Amino acid sequence: NSAVLQNMLEQNTPSLPMLESTDDMADLLASYRRRAARLLADRLKVYLDQIAGNQWWDKCVATSLTNDQMMVAQYNHYRELEDFDLAALVRIAKCNWNTISNRCQVNPEGERILIALGTIRNKGAHESAKAPALSYIRASMETLVEFFEAFGAEPSLLDQATQYLNTLKSYSGGEEQ
């Protein structure tokens, strides 16, 4: 179940559970999206501090958010990047990417990967009540693994995500591999 899967992710357990349905696979995918959000928030802290010092919030965050995102941030008194969801974090990164890529050491493929990450977030936010197709889960994990590699995830997270991707590739689930 999803609680067991989440616990395994939080504990960095090296082995993955037996995934019995695409619902289980989608639950684990959602956990990896949350891990991606935490990694992006951590990286943005470093990048935005290098760009704007102690003015990073006003110069890089507040100017990047949509009106709705800014209203949520103000209403909830956000002051840390970890307070934001993946959509807002991706938007902040993309809005500041030219400056980030000019002043910080980043993967040259970073912007392309951020766009793909935003697509995964948007599709995940608008999933129907049915379990997503195995091909969608697999493609999403491929992008997440690429994100983890490009943005310097801890080796244990990268290994675990890669192992999960390889597990997904071994499932046919009625679909072509």
Tens digit of pLDDT at every position of the chain (177 positions): 455 555 555 555 444 555 667 888 888 999 999 999 999 999 999 999 999 999 999 999 999 999 999 999 999 999 999 999 999 999 999 999 999 999 998 988 999 999 999 999 998 888 888 888 889 999 999 999 999 999 999 999 999 999 999 988 887 654 443
Neighbours of 144 (CB within 10 A): 25
- Alpha-carbon distance of 97 to 114, in angstroms, equals 10
Distance of CA 49 to the CA centre of its chain: 21
| pLDDT of 130 | 84
| pLDDT of 174 | 45
Neighbours of 13 (CB within 10 A): 14
| pLDDT of 159 | 96
> How many Å is the maximal CA-CA distance in the chain?
53
| pLDDT of 7 | 58
Neighbours of 106 (CB within 10 A): 18
Residue type at 44 in one-letter notation: L
129: DSSP letter: S
For residues 134 and 22, the answer to whether their CB atoms sit within 8 Å is: yes
Angle, helices 22-52 vs 110-125, to 10°: value is 130
Residue 62 burial (10 A CB sphere; 0-12, 13-18, 19+): middle
168: DSSP letter: H
- Alpha-carbon distance of 5 to 26, in angstroms, equals 11
Cα–Cα distances in angstroms (integers) from residue 68 to residues 73, 94, 176, in the given order? 9, 17, 40
| pLDDT of 20 | 65
| pLDDT of 111 | 94
83: DSSP letter: G
For residues 50 and 103, the answer to whether their CB atoms sit within 8 Å is: yes
| pLDDT of 127 | 84
